[in-house]
Structure 1
Amino acid sequence: MKYNLLLLLLFNVAIGARAQNQEAKSTVETKTIHSKILNADRAYTIYLPKDYVHNPQKKYPILYILHGLSGVNTTWFEKYDVREVQDQLAASGESVDMIIVSPNAGGDPKTEWNGYFDMPGWNYEQFFYKEFVPHIESTYRVIGDKQNRAIAGLSMGGGGSTSYGQRHADMYSSVYAMSALMSMPDNSTPPKEENKFTLLSQSVIENSCVDYVINATEKQKEELRTVKWFVDCGDDDFLLDTNIDFFRAMRKANIPVEFRIRDGAHDALYWHSALYYCLPFVSRNFKQ
């Protein structure tokens, strides 16, 4: 009898431990929001920390992470392993528990709209601020203030996150730009056809992150100083010169910015490795 009770006790302990281990996992889910501004459904993929479900009173800081040209909302999760890196860094204490979300602003540039700026037929920035951010921060348990909100991105998304941080400095505690399209490279060839990619290229020129700093008023410079900036670009990246131009403009304007040139190119390996710098950086700048 005692032996049976002991077996039952051990079984219950094992079941409890197994359930606890299952509870300790983060979750990633893909959802869709209908945009009246874009007149289309837009997908997003969101990471929820391990205790999100089982700690219903807790609210979290949030990182908006933007993909590059031809990427989609799942790219950061399926190609660059955001979930795995964040789980690892959170477990080691190098990153805080946070919500991470990536909206879809792309696809095949031959057939799909790409870009984070407003352009004829694609008012994406209006969608992002008037529909997407309010939806995310009312649907999920987001703290929802400047000190607990950050934005990051790679390539096209690196330029998008930098420009968003510049023109919406009241919303973000930090910006992390990877291999960023800060402006159109000097050696780029303008597209000959009038198409979606042409409009994207024009929007990048009109929203040049370098020109914004050069032409910033003193008030705008003060606003930029309320944001923590980190620029990260590979020494073999074709966008390195525009990132250097941005750094020089920021330094001339006396706006603090961390700048790293690491070994690497404009590729998935670099962006995966960048997460080990990005996630601790934004964590340090969240208000704890």
Structure 2
Amino acid sequence: MKRLNSYLILFLVIQALPAIGQTPSAGKMEYSTMPSEILGQDREFAVYLPKNYESNPDKSYPVLYLLHGGGDTHTAWPEKGHLAEAANQIIDSKDATEMIIVCPEAGKIHMNYFNDAEWRYEDYFFEELIPFIESTYRVIADKKHRAIAGLSMGGGGTLVYAQHHPEMFSAAYAMSSYMYRMDLPFLDPNDPETEKRQKIVEDNNTVKLLLNASSEQIEKLKTVDWFIDCGDDDFTFVPNMEFVDAMISKGIPYQLRVRDGGHTWQYWNSALYIALPHISNVMRECAFADK
């Protein structure tokens, strides 16, 4: 009998072992697709859902659209940037509110966030992606609770999107932004696809876009919280400083962080620990201002 009791106790301990050391429920990444009539194909995206999303079905959440860089896809922020791990840590520490984070895919075909004759990605983003997210997930669908951020190519996309649609976003957080054509040694000038992408980027030169903005447009841009984050060893450092100079010349408030680092995932992962709390605070202030 004693031996039987010992086996029973051992069995119960073994059964309990998987629960020992387990963390409470955490936010998680999901991967999905949506149809696009504008692009004529299904489009992939990743979405981070906070830990209380499923357990609190009556609650809606702010939303951040987080754009990847050139050569990557919607999986880059979750896998290379460790998005879920960073968001869980930041939210659990109360440094940011729970939010939904959407990572669109813009790298597998034409690798840009803008419109051209063959690929109307910007139209897709605003006319199809955002409405789809807002009808599929419990997001608070207004400017105060919607933000955009991105790195490199996605940083340039962030700044252009927020300039084209300042009525849509409370905050724009741009990391290591690729803002206009740069003749870089790792880009093949003889590749027609490279040249095509470079032309599209230059057609959407975000510095020129800001400098050419009308006084009426400038007033609208002042309703967005602008944050520029770039490493001091980054090859995009000079364009980012030019964008800051343009902001100053137009009298648009902004925040700037120049930190040690280059065009690396180590830098962008660390940027999440600044970006998510900052965006969260902007959303809180916008909501408070309306009360």
- Using structure 1 for the length normalisation, give the TM-score: 0.88
1:39 partnered with 2:40: yes
Q: Could you tell me which amino acid in structure 2 is paired with residue 35 of structure 1?
A: S
1:270 partnered with 2:267: yes
1:113 partnered with 2:110: yes
Taking the aligned partners of 1:185 and 1:192, their CA distance within structure 2 comes to 15
Where does structure 1 lack aligned partners over 5 or more consecutive residues? 1-10
1:48 partnered with 2:45: no
Taking the aligned partners of 1:232 and 1:100, their CA distance within structure 2 comes to 19
1:168 partnered with 2:169: no
Deviations 1:54-113 (A, max 9, x none): 100000000000000011001000001111111001111111100001010003xxxx31
Q: Would the aligned equivalents of 2:172 and 2:224 in 1 still touch at CA under 8 Å?
A: yes
1:231 partnered with 2:228: yes
Taking the aligned partners of 1:145 and 1:199, their CA distance within structure 2 comes to 35
1:249 partnered with 2:250: no
Taking the aligned partners of 1:197 and 1:185, their CA distance within structure 2 comes to 11
1:98 partnered with 2:99: yes
Structure 1 position 120, deviation (Å): 2.5
1:279 partnered with 2:276: yes
Q: Would the aligned equivalents of 2:188 and 2:194 in 1 still touch at CA under 8 Å?
A: no
Q: Would the aligned equivalents of 2:134 and 2:141 in 1 still touch at CA under 8 Å?
A: yes
Deviations 1:3-27 (A, max 9, x none): xxxxxxxx9xx99xx6xx7762212
Match in the other structure for 2:9: none
1:162–1:266 distance in 2 versus 1, CA, 3 Å: same
The percentage of aligned residue pairs carrying the same residue is: 44
1:122–1:51 distance in 2 versus 1, CA, 3 Å: same
Structure 1 position 191, deviation (Å): 3.2
Report the secondary structure of 1:51's partner residue.
coil
Match in the other structure for 1:63: 64
Report the secondary structure of 2:157's partner residue.
helix
Match in the other structure for 2:256: 259
Structure 1 position 260, deviation (Å): 1.2
Report the secondary structure of 1:40's partner residue.
coil
Report the aligned-residue RMSD. Answer: 2.5
Report which stretch shifted further, 69-78 or 26-35.
26-35
- Using structure 2 for the length normalisation, give the TM-score: 0.88
Match in the other structure for 1:134: 131
Taking the aligned partners of 1:204 and 1:285, their CA distance within structure 2 comes to 29
Q: Would the aligned equivalents of 1:185 and 1:242 in 2 still touch at CA under 8 Å?
A: no
Match in the other structure for 2:200: 203
Report the secondary structure of 1:252's partner residue.
helix
Q: Could you tell me which amino acid in structure 2 is paired with residue 79 of structure 1?
A: K
Q: Would the aligned equivalents of 2:156 and 2:178 in 1 still touch at CA under 8 Å?
A: yes
